[in-house]
Amino acid sequence: MTTAEFFKKNGCITGFRVVGHSGYSESGSDVVCASVSSAVMLTANLITDFLGFAADVSAKGDVFTLNAVSPDEKQLQSIFEGLVTHLEMIREEYGKKYLKIKLTEV
């Protein structure tokens, strides 16, 4: 199962961590993992490269983490919320046993 954990502080999403393999199919042909990975990479590139927000980003093995330096920006919150919504749609389409989404207060 892939787990996407979003961190919240004072009502704002401050970042996220995505871990694991969904198990929907074999590695390399897993549409759930591919969809999640693509959404996460697009989000990270949009935040850091295109909009220029400062963030600590790490990708090691099957763990991807992004923590925003100034998470209270309205545009950044919209992007984070868009990722949550996109992942929820993937989970709806393919099933809850492959993708877990959680919000954690920090």
pLDDT band at 27 (very low <50, low <70, confident <90, very high): confident
Q: How far is CA 4 from CA 15, 50, 52, 54, in A?
A: 11, 23, 23, 21
Q: What is the pLDDT of residue 88?
A: 98
Given a cut of 90, whether residue 2 has pLDDT beyond it is yes
Q: What is the pLDDT of residue 5?
A: 98
Domain coordinates in residue numbering, the chain: 2-105
pTM of the model: 0.95
Helix (H) or strand (E) holding 64: strand 63-68
**CATH number, span 2-105:** 3.30.70.1490
Q: Return the closest-CA partner of residue 35 out of 101, 91, 100.
A: 91
